[in-house]
Structure 1
Amino acid sequence: MIRPSIGKVAPAFTTLDENGNKVALKDFRGQTVVLYFYPKAMTPGCTTQACNLRDSKKELDKLNVVTLGISPDAPARLLKFKERDNLNFTLLSDEDHAIADKYGVWGPKKFMGREFDGIHRITFIIDEKGKLIHIMDKFKTKTHHEDVLNYLKGE
């Protein structure tokens, strides 16, 4: 798993959102992007992380930040997740994990003694010009939103 380098342009992508619409990273130029990869919609940790980001939207808006959640789930499952939890940001589908591969977040994982390939929970912060400015890979789902806000506020 090789991750993109801080200070370089973030890897470009176009994929489908929860409504089946094409979304490209370049669509968000002019805003800071919090691009967070998560393993699976509607699971406990992913729900906690998403709901806390949902509840932080006003603060993120003040900082001109857009949140994009990305997982290997199909658009239909993402829509169900968004509706169930009243999520107020875009969810992106990466069913073939091509984007996860570009960002170096797809690889071997262990869970309950079983080893398999999957998404590693990692967040990338991309500036208004499309440059990668920060990578977060060590955080708790319960406090992820606070870590994001603290970084963005320079705290």
Structure 2
Amino acid sequence: MSTRLTAGDTAPDFTLLAADGNSYSLNQFSGQKVIIYFYPKASTPGCTKQACDFQDNIARFSSEGYVVLGISPDPVSRLEKFAEKEDLGFPLLSDEDHAVAEAYGAWGEKKNYGKVYEGLIRSTIVLDEDHKVAVAQYNVRATGHVAKLRRDLKLEA
């Protein structure tokens, strides 16, 4: 299992291809606060709910200086369809080899109906302007997570 990040850790840099056809690197957001959320599979009910919750709150996050990035092991083609269908206005990044998920501690052992396997652990990592970890949340729920994150970040209306 990969090592989980904790508050104060420096976030690993990465460069990934996104649904919009661009490559995104963490370094390009230097001086900005970043919310990175890892989700297992685009267009599934839980992941759709979570992505739409982020989209519904994107103006609030942006007004507080946060950039939102979604990362999954899906290929870019699947992310393109997902972003278009759900009208998502933030980058969805493809981590097919799950190297970034591993570096962030969001890849590891999972259990489902008694079966044990390796997979993506739904997680959210919040970085400060220096890209130090401010908040690291693992095994989050798809439903209600964004509201909880807003409360944790004191971004209530």
Measured against the shorter chain, the TM-score band is: over 0.9
SS of residue matched to 1:129: coil
Aligned Cα root-mean-square deviation (Å)? 1.5
Aligned runs of 1:51-66 on 2, under 5 Å? 51-66=52-67
The answer to whether the Cα contact below 8 Å between 2:73 and 2:94 also exists between their aligned partners in 1 is yes
Q: TM-score, normalised by structure 1?
A: 0.93
SS of residue matched to 1:36: strand
Aligned runs of 1:128-143 on 2, under 5 Å? 128-143=129-144
Q: Deviations over 1:91-127 (max 9, x none)?
A: 0000001101111111121223322211000100001
Q: TM-score, normalised by structure 2?
A: 0.92
Q: Where does structure 1 lack aligned partners over 5 or more consecutive residues?
A: none
Cα distance in 2 for partners of 1:93, 1:132 equals 21
* 1:45 maps onto 2:46 in alignment: yes
The answer to whether the Cα contact below 8 Å between 1:38 and 1:46 also exists between their aligned partners in 2 is yes
Cα distance in 1 for partners of 2:136, 2:72 equals 17
Which segment is superposed worse, 82-91 or 18-27?
A: 18-27
* 1:30 maps onto 2:31 in alignment: yes
Match of 2:17 in 1: 16
Match of 2:114 in 1: 113
Q: Where does structure 2 lack aligned partners over 5 or more consecutive residues?
A: none
Which segment is superposed worse, 68-77 or 128-137?
A: 128-137
The answer to whether the Cα contact below 8 Å between 2:5 and 2:105 also exists between their aligned partners in 1 is yes
% identical equivalent positions? 45
1:128 is aligned with what amino acid? E
Cα distance in 1 for partners of 2:78, 2:150 equals 28
Cα distance in 1 for partners of 2:112, 2:121 equals 12
Cα distance in 2 for partners of 1:103, 1:136 equals 11
Match of 1:97 in 2: 98
The answer to whether the Cα contact below 8 Å between 2:20 and 2:91 also exists between their aligned partners in 1 is no
Cα distance in 1 for partners of 2:108, 2:35 equals 21
